[in-house]
Structure 1
Amino acid sequence: MTIEAIHVATIQVLLAGGVGRLTTTRVAERAGVSVGTMYQYYPHKQALLFALVERQFDLIETAMRDAATRLMGCDLKAIANGLATAWLDAKMADMVVSRAIYGIAAEFDLSELMSRAARCMTEAIDALLASAEDARFADRSSVAFMLAALLGGSVRVVMEAEPSEENFARLRRELPQACHAYLAAANLATT
């Protein structure tokens, strides 16, 4: 419960003042714990922020692996729709946390964490595409990579630049179509 309180307090402090104003003392006060307790879990601000980002990445990776498992053996249209919906559901499950994570990403080098997450997602998509009966790709791993990039990049642009209900509704409506169109084009290019 203490770690959860610290994570919630961290998000609240981040949203109120950004990464630059975040201190372990502010988080401890907001969480209702002593600074000593904070240091038991997180020796410094960066450790706290990285733990928060890693937790969010783990939740998203789990959601995408679960979606890939559910979609095994489906056709490309179902895969495109299912992956886009699962990605949006995972990223938008807690918009407050997602916004805070993008703020952290802008301040710190998260390349190792992001590389791991991208690799995991690309591998899951690659295995999923291998299971689709209607898939005939010349380079399936490249298609999986590009689909992961399409999912990640489109949501990031909206979250960072134009986070409005209208744009989130557009993503929900258009991203599954964009993913399917890409898969269909990549598939047709090999026949």
Structure 2
Amino acid sequence: MPATVAIAFQPRKTPVQSRSEATVEAILQATLQVLVSVGKEKLTTTLVAQRAGVSVGTLYQYFPNKSALLQATLRRHMDHVIAAVEDTCKSECNRSIFDQATALIDTYLDAKLNDVNNSASLYAIATDVDGMRIARNVGNRAHRSTTALFSTATERLTCEPELITTMVLCCITGVTRRLLEDKPTQKLLPAIREQLLNMVHAYLKTCTR
């Protein structure tokens, strides 16, 4: 990424006190609310500041422009997703790989689709705020954690855990990406989860003895 573009996305300063952290959290939450409400094109720093209950000057203390604000909001969402995935990978060690995969799918779907409108709105702006780089970093973390998880599976694996991770994560992320594009109703999500589980479990049967 060119240096000038990278600078445009960088926050002005990092909050170091609890009050500053609360202010930033309020600003990022307001950004998401405004984004869902009016869309990227109509979102302004003034609208976000009003929704957050802070002055525009306060907002600019932390975020130099709209792009930096949107990128920070996307990063906050992705950090939430990967933190949930990593927690699951730590807690599901030494279990059946089928149980591990089920827990991983449930965690990922809950983190990404608990509020479809929020996730879909963030997905729609990703290409404008260097979202590919953020997604790549998060994806690398998910791959490492999931590989470590599958390495502890109680079954004897006939494939390398790293390869199994690649296939399983491709299934999960591919399905969720399409869902964010289509914005399905909440009532369809249980059926989608069941079908995704069926697909992943069928694959895992070919990788175990």
Give the alignment's TM-score, normalised by structure 2: 0.82
- 1:75-154 equivalent positions in 2, closer than 5 A: 75-154=96-175
Counterpart contact for 1:9–1:31, Cα < 8 Å: yes
1:112 is matched by which residue type in structure 2? Answer: R
Structure 2 equivalent of residue 177 of structure 1: 198
Residue 111 to residue 15, structure 1, CA distance change in 2 (3 Å):
same
What are the Cα deviations for residues 144-172 of structure 1, in whole angstroms up to 9, with x where unaligned?
12211211110121121142123312222
CA distance in 1, matches of 2:205, 2:126: 33
The amino acid that maps onto 1:33 is: V
> Which is worse superposed, 98-107 or 52-61?
98-107
Which blocks of at least 5 consecutive residues in structure 1 are unaligned?
none
**Contact 1:72 1:131 (C-alpha < 8 Å) held by counterparts:** yes
2:47 to 14, 17, 26: 26
Counterpart of 1:63 in structure 2 is 84
Quick check: 33-42 or 130-139, which moved more? 130-139
SS in 2 for 1:48: helix
Q: What is the aligned counterpart of 1:36 among 20, 40, 57?
A: 57
| Distance across 1 between alignment mates of 2:156 and 2:87 | 21
State percent identity of aligned pairs. Answer: 34
Kindly tell me the number of residue pairs found equivalent between the two proteins.
188
Q: What letter matches 1:16 in structure 2?
A: S
Q: Report the CA distance between 1:140 and its aligned residue.
A: 2.5
Does the 8 Å CA contact 2:126/2:132 hold for their aligned counterparts? no
Structure (1/2) with the larger helix percentage: 1
- Listed one character per residue, the Cα deviations across residues 71-91 of structure 1 (whole Å, up to 9, x for unaligned) are 101112111211111111211
* Amino acid paired to 1:169: P
**TM-superposed deviation, 1:106:** 4.6
Shift of 1:37: 0.5
Per mean C-alpha deviation after superposition, the further-off stretch among 88-97 and 120-129 is 88-97
Between 1:116-125 and 1:93-102, the stretch displaced more is 93-102
Quote the Cα distance in structure 1 between the aligned partners of 2:84 and 2:158.
25
Paired position in structure 2 for 1:168: 189
- Structure 2: gaps spanning 5 or more residues: 1-21
AA in 2 matched with 1:183: L
Tell me, in whole angstroms, the C-alpha distance in 1 between the residues paired with 2:158 and 2:147: 11
Q: Is residue 85–residue 176 contact of structure 1 (8 Å, CA) maintained in 2? A: no
For the residue of structure 2 that corresponds to 1:20, the secondary structure is coil
Other-structure match for 1:11: 32
How large is the RMSD of aligned CA atoms in angstroms?
Answer: 1.8
TM-score (norm 1): 0.89
Is the contact between residue 67 and residue 83 of structure 1 (CA under 8 Å) also seen in structure 2?
Answer: yes
* Secondary structure, counterpart of 2:41 in structure 1: helix
- Segments of 4+ in structure 1 off by > 4 A? none
